[in-house]
């Protein structure tokens, strides 16, 4: 699977939640589009909405409350986003623009220390 973050959707809220739209695409072209959030202070993620079947708007019926990020799950992109780009020391790694720049340049949190 391939994972993409919509750069216009990424934000760092005053509540410490990093919100973003993720596109998950299979090699055959099937796509899932979700609007999600990650909390740096407690290693949790939340699903706010998914694109509806017609791909014309958001379906909030799928909304889930915050849950712990599981690192051992198949395609655990939440863990990778948290550890590599979004969070360090239980805080966002920077502004939305700084996070996007790190993603685009493939600068992970660990590489920023070297």
Close Cβ partners of 50 (under 8 Å, ≥ 6 residues apart):
32, 33, 34, 35, 58, 59, 62
Mean pLDDT by 10 residues, the chain (114 residues): 93 95 92 95 95 91 93 81 93 94 83 51
pLDDT at 74: 65
pLDDT at 112: 54
Between the CA of residue 80 and those of 3, 43, 54, 75, what are the distances in Å? 11, 11, 30, 9
Compute the distance between CA of residue 27 and CA of residue 47 in angstroms, rounded to an integer: 23
pLDDT at 111: 58
Number of domains present in the structure of the chain: 1
The CATH number that applies at residue 40 is: 2.40.128
Compute the distance between CA of residue 69 and CA of residue 80 in angstroms, rounded to an integer: 10
Structural domain boundaries, residue 94: 2-113
pLDDT at 114: 43
């Amino acid at each position: 699977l391939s994972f993409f973050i919509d750069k216009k959707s990424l934000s760092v809220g005053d509540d410490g939640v990093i919100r973003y739209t993720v596109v998950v695409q299979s090699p055959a072209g099937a796509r899932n589009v979700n609007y999600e959030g990650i909390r740096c202070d407690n290693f949790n993620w939340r699903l706010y909405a998914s694109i509806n079947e017609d791909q014309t708007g958001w379906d909030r019926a799928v909304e889930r409350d915050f849950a712990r990020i599981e690192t051992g799950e198949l395609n655990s992109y939440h863990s990778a986003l948290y550890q590599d780009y979004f969070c360090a020391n239980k805080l966002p790694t920077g502004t939305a623009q700084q996070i996007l720049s790190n993603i685009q340049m493939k600068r992970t949190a660990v590489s920023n220390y070297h």
